[in-house]
Amino acid sequence: MNPEFVSIGFCSNDHLCRVREIPVDGKTEMLEHLVQGGGPAGDAAVAAARLGWRAAFVATMGDDSDGRKMVDDFRSEGVCVDGIKVLPNQGSPVAYCWITPDGARSVAWTKSGLPPLDPADVPVDLVKRARILHLDGHQTPAALAAARIAKENGVLISLDAGTQVPGIDALLALADIVVASEAFARNWSGEDHLERALEKLEKCGNQVTGVTMGVAGSMCLHNGKFIRVPSVDAGPVVDTTGAGDSYHAAFAIRYSETGDVRGSMAFAAVYAAMKCRKLGARAGLPTRAEAEAFIIKEQP
């Protein structure tokens, strides 16, 4: 299999529970509980697979039960795991998430001391043959090595800019698509006004520079013009965990296929909204057919 969408970055085993309220120094009964994979790059790989692309995830993983479950989850989704380096006697990243009916969340997470992927372990052939290399800023040295390989081979580089980590400026300079969180855009640029923040980010040389804004939708700067697309009402919101992750995958794939920024933003908004109808980052990820059917149904 030659993956078209190669994702490098963070993946965790998420322990999720819906509760009436998040307790402080107290107890509460769970309304719903499940364990599933999470993490920005991991979620994006699964979203790409459900959108019909051949996908791969690249990172390190421990040889513990959490690591084995994450690898098995990827396999069950058809995501290539050849680029996952399993490290002996190591734990794997986990997160504990509490979600209330009104959408409030609290998350505690750990990488469990897991060493990052060594740049020498980047699967060169997977990256060279991809159509999209998707990065989330984690596994930064390996991500930089992969981005340089992608650049040399004409692979579209997508960056989910959510965390300021050492080396992020170099990733910003290499990426073709940069879609940031509001917090990242403001903190990195030093600008409270998002339009000015995007103007500063665009100077990194990206084809498309954008920001996701939750219920306020998303905004992109492309060819000197600001494009705004509202969020979508896809039904009752159960959990927003991973909504941004799914947006990034859907946007990058649609943009790669069409080159249409506004259309890609609109498709990604639908995809992210549909994801939010179930608990966890992945359970609600729709297939391409499901997303397209929703769009047709909602058209006037």
What are the residue ranges spanned by the domains of the chain? 5-11+40-92+113-287
Specify the DSSP class assigned to residue 88.
Answer: T
Give tens-digit pLDDT for 45-86.
999 999 999 999 999 999 999 999 999 999 999 999 999 999
Give tens-digit pLDDT for 274-298.
999 999 999 999 999 999 999 988 7
Specify the DSSP class assigned to residue 188.
Answer: H
Confidence of residue 300 (pLDDT cuts 50, 70, 90): low
% of the chain with per-residue pLDDT over 70: 99
Query: CATH top-level class for 5-11+40-92+113-287?
Result: alpha beta
What are the C-alpha distances in Å from 285 to residues 55, 129, 218? 15, 26, 19
Give tens-digit pLDDT for 3-20.
999 999 999 999 999 999
Is residue 132 within 8 Å of residue 151, measured between CB atoms? no
Strand order from edge to edge, sheet including 132-135: 84-87, 55-62, 5-8, 132-135, 156-161, 177-181, 208-212, 218-222, 225-229
